[in-house]
Structure formats: C-alpha cells, structure tokens
Amino acid sequence: MKRQCKQCKGGFEITDEDLEFYKKISPKFGDKSFEMPLPTLCPDCRNQRRQMFRNDRSFYLRKCDLSGERFVSMYQADCAYKVYKPSEWFSDKWNPLDYGRDFDFKRPFFEQFGELMKDVPRMGINIVNCENSDYCNYCSDNKNCYMDIAGEGNEDCYFNLFVKYSKNTLDCTFAYNCELCYECINCYDCYGCQNCMYCDNCSNCYFSYDLKGCQDCIFSYGLRNKQYYIFNEEKTKEEYEDYFKSVALDSFDQREKMKEGWAKFKKENAIFRANYFLNCENCSGNNIKNSKNTFYSFNVLNCEDCAYLYDVLDAKDCRDLNYSLYKPELSYELISSLQMVRSAFSMASHYNNEVFYCDHLDNCSNLLGCIGLNHAKYCILNKQYSKEEYNALVPQIIEKMVEDKEWGEFFPAFLSPHAYNETVAQEYFPLTPEKVHSNGWRWTKRESGNQFKIIPQELKFYEKMGIPSPAKSPDQRHRDRIDLRTPRRLWERACSKCNETVLSAYKPDRPEKIFCDKCYFKEVY
C-alpha cells in the first residue's frame, strides 16, 4: 500500500507485514477493541519525531526544585517544568498520584497531557544505580564515568555513546565488552584498540577496519585471525614493532597525518560490505546481529519480526522503536524504554505492560496518559480508577482522540520538553534554525566556543596509552564519529564486483567499493 508522508511529502509503503502488525497490536479495553490507524508519516519522519523527545548530551547546572541542591541536568534552569535530581525523584518525598485529574472531554488529549507534564516533576538526568557518574545520561550501573551516554555496566569510561560493559574506554561509539579502547566504532570484545571500526575480538590494533580475531595490526582492513600486518601486508614481529615505533602516534601532528592517510587509503582500497549483518535471516538495514525478519532497522541485536528499529535489543513483533532494550514485545512508537509489552506511544519508561501515551513509568500496567508512576495499574492522567472504571472510560477517551485525530500517532512535537537542537533529532536529521522555526518547532540558543576542559582522568588515560591530548571538544569529536558512520537510510546501488543491485547504507555516489554478501565473503574469507 502506497502512502504520502504528510510532513516530507515523500512516498512510502505500508507492507502486508505492517498491516498484520497493526492488526495484532490493536488494543482491547473491556469488550471494546480499537484498530491501530495506519501511520501518516514515513518511517524517517516518524523516527525524527520520536528523537525530538530525547536529549542525550545537552547538559546544564541547575537547582533541584525539591531540595534546592545544584546538580547536572538535561533541563535548563528556566524551563517550564519541575525538575528533580534522580535521588529526589526516586524518593518517597512526593507522590505522582497527587497530580491526578479528570479527563476533560471538551479539550484535546494532548493539551491535557501537556499540562500534566508541567505539573508532575521530571527526573533531571536519567541515571540509575551509578557511582561517581553525575555527568552521564541514560546510564545504569556505571562507576567513575564522565559524559558516558546510554552506557551500562561501564567503569572509568569517558565521552562515549552506547558503550556497554567496558572499562577504561574513551571516545567510542557502539562498543561492547571493550577495554583500553579509544576512538572505536562498532567494536566488540576488543582490547587496546585505537581508531578502529567494525572490529571484533581484536587486541592492540590501530587505524583498522573490519578485523576479526586479529592482534597487532595497523592500517589494515578485512583481515581474519591475523597478527603483525601493516597496510594489509604480513610482517615479522620485529618489522612490525620497528614500524610501529617509527609512526610515533604519541605526536599530535603525526597522529593527525596518519589519520588523514588512513582515511584516504581505506576509501581507495578497502572492501565495504553493503550492509553489516551477522547471523541474520531475511533482514534489511545495517549493523544487525542475530536477527530474523527485521526490516529497515539499524544497530539492532537479537530481534525478530520487527521493522523500523534504531538502537534496539531483543525485540519481538515490534515497530518504530528507538533505544528500546530487554525484550520489548508487541510494542509500537517507543523511545528510551526497557521491556515494554503491548505498549505504544510512550517514552522513558521501563518494565510496563499495556500502557499508552505515557512518560517516565516503571513497573506499571493498564495506564493511559500517565507520568512518573511506579507499580501502578488502571490510571488515567495520574488518577486512580478501578479496573471496571478504567475499561469503561478509556474507550470513551480514545473515541475522543480518534475524533481529534490524535489516536495512533506519537506525541506531537510541541509536547517535547527539549528544543530541537538539544535532541538527537539534530544529530540524525540536522536542520538550520530557520527550518526548525518554519516547522513550528523550538530552537534554543546555546553557548558555543573553542574552549573545553580535559578532566584529570582523561589526561591520565592519554598518558597511559601514549595518545596526545585532543584539539577538538568532546562534542566535535562525537560529531566526527557520526560522520564516519553510514546514514540510517538505504539506497539501491550496484555491487562493485558483480554489478548486482544491492540495498545498501552507502549512497550510490559514494566512492567506496561496496560488495554484496556473496562477493564480500568470497573476497574476505
């Protein structure tokens, strides 16, 4: 089924699998069912809208509105919301049910939800069970970390994104179980690697791409279980060590020169797989592992019968999720969530069942339009109801939402508590202030400049690893790593070897040699 996106005006397709999914997740309240409407936005515009509700790395010093204590927050001091530091937000000093109110059938649902958002206190920074890691966000179980975003189980890690179960790792993006790594992207189980991408089970590798089971390699690509390689040529141990010393990577100017030379060599010589899949069946997208029947998805692991996923783990029968982990199932249009089942149109919520249009929920079920509740059931706009009352009232509210054309879509942009340029939407869908304003969205003035601070732990890491101190700010280094990754889009292009048409994350006008899977495996293995 062909549709036109109401935002970008581009065409998009709703597949038979999509239609079956919408039918499967259509909720039932009491004896009344509600069909899930077909989306009015294309997958990319739906993704952009959800990302407008997540602020990863725009931090501010402000006071907690409960204790008055200053802390690091993702909300500006003069924002329109009550903001609590995490320890106060999780305390028993306040009760979110105290903010409950009746639904007004004379007004739109989103208008009333926006008012609730401004009344119920918001968690100022999203960190759980972290020690000495105040300058982090969307993190759990971290220790001694700084500017670690979406991290988990990390120790002594700094300036990373989506790094998990790692130690002493700095300036990395999508790295798992790594130690003493620097400027690595999409790397797993690596030790002592620098400026590497798509490397698994490697140690002491530098400026390398797509290595598996390698050690002591530099300026190399596409190697498997190799040691002592330079520019893809095998060397003796002595030759390798002599060359490595001559490179002098502890010199800033020399390292920058080597980085530029490696980028040129890689672009001209390396083989790039059209899409990086590992142990996948019937999938499309990029950076997918151990998944089946998962389409137009990016950076996902252990997913089945899904589509339109971005940074998702263990999902089954889901569509349109961002940063959603730990077995989400039969869920739709979620962002920043954990283990959501039969839920839709919600954000920053964890371990919930059958919740709709909710924010910052934990361990709840059967809720509509609620914020900040924990272990709650049968609530609407934070007001408690009996099961019978809930199942009778929710259908009436949904009918009102259908009439107002609100049901079946994620929260509209005007409800986002963040300006567009504070969110990850600006990273994946960059816009000018003029374009943001013309769309009716918010843009905030942010301080910018060339000055930045090198923290003592960071300096100690550089000294230990023989790395010169950087000349760019952490935010610029983060943007540089974004530029090294492929866009989260797919294009048709020809395999550089056999000329067969492939669907790839590399645009057709890019100069890299892109191989289909058949040619790639024949060449690399």
The answer to whether 372 and 357 are in contact (CB under 8 A) is no
For the four alpha carbons of 500, 294, 310 and 368, in that order, the dihedral sign comes to: positive
**Residue 262 one-letter amino acid:** W
Helix (H) or strand (E) holding 70: strand 70-73
pLDDT of residue 390: 97
Q: Which pLDDT tens digit goes with each residue over 457-497?
A: 999 999 999 999 999 999 999 999 999 999 999 999 999 99
Can you give the pLDDT at residue 525?
86
Per DSSP, the three-state class of 133 is: coil
Q: Measured between alpha carbons, how far is 498 from 47 in angstroms, rounded to an integer?
A: 34
Identity at 275, one-letter amino acid code: N
Share of the chain above pLDDT 70, in %: 99
Which amino acid makes up residue 300? Answer: V
Beta-bridge partners for 498: none
What is the separation of C-alpha 381 from the centre of its chain, rounded to a whole number of angstroms? 28
Answer whether 149's CB lies under 8 Å from 138's CB. yes
Model pLDDT for residues 15-48, shown as the tens digit of each residue: 999 999 999 999 999 889 999 999 999 999 999 9
- Identity of the amino acid at 259: K
Confidence of residue 327 (pLDDT cuts 50, 70, 90): very high
Q: Give residue-wise pLDDT tens across range 125-156.
A: 999 999 999 999 999 999 999 999 999 999 99
Instruction: Work out the mean pLDDT of the chain and round it to a whole number.
Output: 96
What is the tens place of the pLDDT at every residue in 427-446?
999 999 999 999 999 999 87
User: In this structure, are residues 223 and 205 in contact, taking their beta carbons and an 8 Å threshold?
Assistant: no
Sole residue written with tokens 């003592």: 456
pLDDT tens for 78-128 read 999 999 999 999 999 999 999 999 999 999 999 999 999 999 999 999 999
First to last CA, the chain: 40
The pLDDT tens digits for 239-296 are 999 999 999 999 999 999 999 999 999 999 999 999 999 999 999 999 999 999 999 9
Contact partners, residue 231, CB within 8 Å, separation at least 6: 219, 220, 265
pLDDT tens-digit profile of 362-396? 999 999 999 999 999 999 999 999 999 999 999 99
3-state secondary structure of 180: coil
Q: Looking at residue 448, what is its pLDDT?
A: 61
Q: 267-282, pLDDT tens digit by residue?
A: 999 999 999 999 999 9
Quote the distance between the C-alpha of residue 334 and its chain's center. 12
How does DSSP classify residue 374?
A: B
pLDDT band at 449 (very low <50, low <70, confident <90, very high): low
- Alpha-carbon span 252 to 248, nearest angstrom: 9
Partners of 350 in beta bridges: 338, 362
Query: What pLDDT score was predicted for residue 451?
Result: 80
What is the Cα–Cα distance from 438 to 432, expressed in whole angstroms? 10
Both tokens of 317, joined, read 């029968």
Average pLDDT over residues 72-76: 97
For 168-207, what is each residue's pLDDT tens digit?
Answer: 999 999 999 999 999 999 999 999 999 999 999 999 999 9
What is the rounded distance in angstroms from the CA atom of residue 356 to the CA atom of residue 370? 8
CB atoms within 10 A of CB 380: 22
What is the distance between the alpha carbons of residues 258 and 249, in angstroms, rounded to a whole number? 8
Q: State the burial class of residue 65 (Cβ atoms within 10 Å of its Cβ: 0-12, 13-18, 19+).
A: middle
pLDDT at 446: 76
